[in-house]
Amino acid sequence: MKKILALILAAIVILAVAACGSSAPAAPAAPADGGQQEAAAPADTPAAEDSDSGTGAYSALYLCNGSLGDKGFYDNAASGFYRLRDELGWEIKIIEMGRDETTYEGYFLDEVEKDWDLIVSGTFSIRDMLEEMAVRFPEQNFMGFDIAIDFDKVTTGNAIGVTYQSNETGFMGGALAALMLGSGAEKIDASRPVLGFVGSMDTPNINDFLIGYIEGIQYINPDIRLLTSYIGSFNDVPKGYEMTTQLYNLGAQIVYAPASQSILGAVQASADSDRYFVACDNDIWSMMHETDPDMVANILSSTMKNVGNSIFDAASGLKEGTFQLGQNYTLGIKDDAVGLAKNANFEALVPADIRAQLNDIASQIANGTIVVGTAFGMETDAVAALRDGMSP
């Protein structure tokens, strides 16, 4: 109980620090067919001015449909804005909108006429609002990340969509976990070929990781079984801890967790259970190993969705002409937009021969030799059948 209370308090502190201040704050792919306060800038970088400062610099606003400090998706996205500011001199601002979707329209309306060069927001929960705003305000340019824009609806030519092949990075996580089962590592019981998956929500975005994870496992060893759970929330840290612990107790040797902010609980569970873990979105080991080395000691790697890099590339590309409004772009391993985090812990825990195999698998995905399935377009029953078919 003390450990989980400490974890909750740590998460609260992280979120409070991210929300209390005010700031101003992969090469392009072919187009695809188809906290409620302003966020503080990192402590080691100066804040930028707002876009009405008259400096003439390009300006970009990030309307974050959550809170910073998650050590995952939102922090990753914000990193792209800090790069725009620090490397290109853009004026930026980040506003944390929180999880109450009924408030999002107000945030958009407050900012949409402030002469931003680009307003950016992302994930499925923001798609309808962003598309509506693009139609209502045709003079303002919008970017949606982790979503594809419906250009039958948005015919104004002022929006761009950037999506990621989460299935490909999930495949790499599955291949890593499956290969580690046969590695002889002392923390793995080779007689129990069972892995685990903890997702934040049972949605296509999260299930795209799952489909890739399953296919990566099966590519290595179709006899491996998989235990799957959903937290039912993007930011329930205690539930993330509880469900991950349960999977370890049921025999999962390694757990993979595309779980948004809830991942902090899952990481703590891997430490308390002393079992291996694959994180998601951000390189959590690199972010936390100096401050919380015991907590992240069992993280084999993270399946990266390099959201920040893609925001930087697309935003700067719009200015330079390498990306175009009115198009959707899908980025994957071949674009260096997704893949495994290769840090010192990865090299220490994962044997060299397995790392070499993973590099070869990534190359085969990049050149199209391995084609990974996706949850998008799959019927709910089909996803459930595949998931259930992997149960022990």
Rounded-to-integer distance, Cα 355 and Cα 344, Å: 12
Q: What is the pLDDT of residue 239?
A: 98
pLDDT tens digits, one per residue of 44-86: 333 333 334 334 589 999 999 999 987 778 888 999 999 999 9
Q: What is the pLDDT of residue 363?
A: 98
**Burial (CB count <10 Å: 0-12, 13-18, 19+), residue 319:** middle
Query: How far is it, in rounded angstroms, from Cα 196 to Cα 198?
Result: 7
Q: How many CB atoms lie within 10 A of CB 259?
A: 36
Instruction: Let me know if domain 166-304+351-389 sits in CATH 3.50.50.60.
Output: no
Type of residue found at 42: P
DSSP-based three-state secondary structure for 147: coil
| pLDDT at position 305 | 86
Domain with CATH 3.40.50.2300 in the chain: 2-164+308-331, 166-304+351-389
Q: Which CATH number fits domain 2-164+308-331: 3.30.2130.10, 3.30.9.10, 3.40.640.10, 3.40.50.2300?
A: 3.40.50.2300
Q: Are strands 338-340 and 142-145 parallel, antiparallel or unpaired?
A: unpaired
Q: How far apart are CA 254 and CA 168, in angstroms?
A: 19
- pTM given for the model: 0.76
In the three-class reduction of DSSP (H, G, I as helix; E, B as strand; rest coil), residue 130 is classed as helix
Do the Cβ atoms of 310 and 164 come closer than 8 Å? yes
- Rounded alpha-carbon distances, angstroms, from residue 97 to 39, 40, 63, 107, 138: 10, 14, 7, 7, 23
Q: What pLDDT is recorded for position 281?
A: 86
At which residue do the structure tokens 């959903």 appear? 230
Minimum mean pLDDT range among 34-38, 241-245, 331-335: 34-38
Exposed / middle / buried, residue 381 (Cβ in 10 Å: 0-12, 13-18, 19+): exposed
Quickly state the pLDDT bin for 16 (edges 50, 70, 90).
Answer: very low
Give the largest Cα separation in the chain, rounded.
66
Q: What average pLDDT score do residues 94-100 get?
A: 94
CA distance 369 to 356: 17
- The answer to whether residues 229 and 199 touch, using CB atoms and an 8 Å cutoff, is yes
Q: Average pLDDT of 122-142?
A: 95
Q: Give the model confidence (pLDDT) of 270-321 as tens digits.
A: 999 999 999 998 899 999 999 999 999 999 999 998 899 999 999 999 999 9
pLDDT higher than threshold 90 for residue 124 = no
Residue 311: per-residue pLDDT: 96
pLDDT of 151: 97
Place of tokens 């491996």: 224
Residue 17 CB coordination number (10 Å): 13
pLDDT (tens digit, 9 = 90+) per residue, 344-379? 999 999 999 999 999 999 999 999 999 999 999 999
- pLDDT band of residue 99 (cuts 50, 70, 90) is confident
390 or 306: which leads in pLDDT: 390
